[in-house]
Structure 1
Amino acid sequence: EEVRMHVWLTDKRSSGKIVFLQLRDGTAFFQGIVRKNDVSEEVFEAAKGLRQEASFYLTGTIHEDARSHFGYEIQISDLEVVSNNEGYPITNKEHGIDFLLDHRHLWLRSRRPFAIMQIRNRIFKATVDFFENEGFVKFDAPLLMHSAPEGTTELFHIDYFDHDAYLSQSGQLYGEVGAEAFGKIFTFGPTFRAEASKTRRHLTEFWMMEPEMAWMHQDESLDLQERFLSYVVGQVLEHCEYELSILGRDVDKLRPAAEGNYTRLSYDDAVKMLQEAGKDFKWGDDFGAPDEAFLSEQFDRPFFIVNYPVAIKPFYMKKNPENPLTYLCADVEAPEGYGEIMGG
């Protein structure tokens, strides 16, 4: 079939009478071929003269090609240059992370950040779809707050018309108000933590999803969390196969998470597992990153750790009627050493 597309050039190479163009259109990366004998001299010279990130229209015919990850490529018959850029800074060589972050608005065009953002977009859609299908109301909490939800001082301060205000650390307290009005709500938006840390576990700005449910007990909450996480991973596996392949992600390690059946491990049993493995850990300690990594290596899918000691959790949690030294609470730990990804 003959098609007309608008594209950008990511790379090119020529071999005498053939020019191979590596292209992107915002949805994927693919190859177009310009053969000298099949086009006018003007078109062939224009193809040879294209520079990285040139933008142009092309007309061509789709052909099967088993070497392509799609199974197809485009035999180009005509092209119309819109802009032939010069001096694009991100070339096909190794660049340091500082350089890429300084040029992040351009780095988004590269394969890895492209794949990450597409997967993030699918996670966002899956999250909203899931909670809407479960009867939740999307509830927007303010981003400017007068105090910290959990009493911490690690907040970004703002002079708000001669009053003190802070960037939101959590929408939780507002979500609780919403749940008492609507029964089930979820907030989903940017949150901020003013911790001068530089690890993958400490981000100063990130998007957090926080549901609040009235009339729901712990087992029902754990069921909901499991359904949510398995649904999101399932949607990514179904719709983002191409993007996962760009990242080199082993999808076989993701599939168990989409199947559900998550283990519910008590805090007591988690302590025993660490002690039996020779770890220096005693009842009442909070799990550090090495502890979480060890526990997560024992499972092929996410799992819950439930009912932590009162001393290491926030004041607002509900006491465990079967053991007043613990709260009714749970964290979801991800396998492969990633650690905690949800808390409730």
Structure 2
Amino acid sequence: MGLVVSAIAFLFAVAVLGAAAKRLPQASTVVYGGTAAACALIALWAALRLAGGGPDAALVLPVGLPWIQAHLRADALSAVFLIVVNLGGITASLFGWGYERAHHDSHSGPQGGSQDGPVLPLYPLFLAGMNMVLIAADAFTFLLSWEFMSLASWLLVLSTHREPETPKAARLYIIMASFGTACLLLAFGVLATAHGDYSFAAIRDHAPAAGAAALVVVLILLGAGSKAGLVPLHVWLPLAHPAAPSHVSALMSGVMTKVAVYAMIRVLFDLLGEPDWWWGGVTMGFGALTAVMGVLYALMQDDVKRLLAYSTVENIGAIVIALGLALVFKAAHTPVIAALALAAAPAPCGQPFPCSRACCSSRRAPC
């Protein structure tokens, strides 16, 4: 765990260097190269943890107040998503480094030349926030990391503020992000009401009553679903995806939405205890609506980035359908079939590879 925390701290250091030297030609090499190295280190650590098995890695860090501590923990679920996030981070970093170098002397677009400066310090912070969410083991650390991830991605969308559609996209995105965080805050508040302890270990030991659990299910689907892109909470995604720089939009739609899926799995399958069958029914309903609407909207697009955004919505719907099936089978005490349903959640097609202006026209082929 110490290695993962050190790599995340290195991402913060890379962000500081990027802010200090963003006008220099070597700034993009430092930021994207350092970010790719940190992501590779975390992904390798997670892969070795999965291959080797053993107990969960845990760490407790003081955050300045004696009654508040940051509980960090990486189990098998965290390790899987650490690999997903950081492989996407490596790919996007390599693309961003090459793209910025190719356009360093161009001043014709929001991503060209010195106008790429705002992206450099924020890009590693975005990846640091996503990694922090995955290793958080208490509600305080989880929500702080979640909000950090949201604010960093919002500022990255605003890095193209000279484009006429960007202010609207950024405004809608921050509204939906704030709504999602509020729902998650209420969900964790309900989970910790009976005992007043916000650590995940304490929440597991004190399962909420049926009524409180039902409220948490709804709040998690709203809170994490707004970040994942569940219909009708997906409205930010088709706007923010085209507005952000290409490698950032790849991370937002191909990786950040999977961090939201992780939040659903962590709460619904881990913290809430034994599920009721209707949790899966509601989850499948949201997923089916999302998948169908994503397909229909994608068929009507003539802009590649918006098409990929709706393709992400469709894939999130398919993933959530699989999560709902797994909940139903888990409630029926058939863990093997539940595991098969959970494994059926598909990987996002064409993601997290960044999309350039010379992207392919096929919706199912990666850029």
Q: Shorter-chain TM-score: which interval?
A: under 0.3
Please identify the structure whose Cα radius of gyration is greater: 1
Higher relative contact order (CA 8 A, sep 6+): 2
Q: Could you say which structure has the higher strand fraction?
A: 1
